[in-house]
Amino acid sequence: MKLFCCGKCNQIFNLSFTYRECEGQHGGGQYIDRLNAKVWGDPTQIFVLGFANTSFVNALRDQLHSGDRPADFYYAGRMTPKGREFTAFVIPEAADSVIRVLDRFDPVEPAILSETKFSECP
């Protein structure tokens, strides 16, 4: 999973096959196939975040099967349950899975071989 992050208007949203821009129109992007995305904008303001998919799915499964953890995390002045952790990261500019351009581009028709719904994931 890839997320679009605009550091200028502090907006984060998931990239999808549908082209989308941040509210301030500082950048935008979309998936161009099932793995790769294309984004535009100032690379000092526009970032792409990634989730390690297996780690994310395992955290969701653990939450669904085991429920909330005991309150063992101090947050906002009180003890609260800590959420399930998973691996997330800033995708580097050198990554092959993200095409980065400076200028706005016209939405592209993604090359989709087949669609897998989240509910179909093991």
Domain count, the chain: 1
pLDDT digits (tens, 9 = 90+) for 54-102: 999 999 999 999 999 888 888 889 999 989 999 999 999 999 999 999 9
Question: What does the mean pLDDT of the chain come to?
Answer: 91
Domain assignment present for 49: yes
Are 71 and 81 contacting, i.e. CB atoms less than 8 angstroms apart?
yes
Q: Please give the structure tokens belonging to residue 93.
A: 């500019």
Domain assignment present for 113: no
Are 15 and 76 contacting, i.e. CB atoms less than 8 angstroms apart?
no
Domain assignment present for 61: yes
For residue 24, the enclosing domain spans: 2-100
- Report the run of H or E that residue 46 belongs to, with start and end: strand 46-51
**CA 68 remoteness from chain centre:** 24
**Distance from C-alpha of 30 to C-alpha of 27, rounded to nearest angstrom:** 11
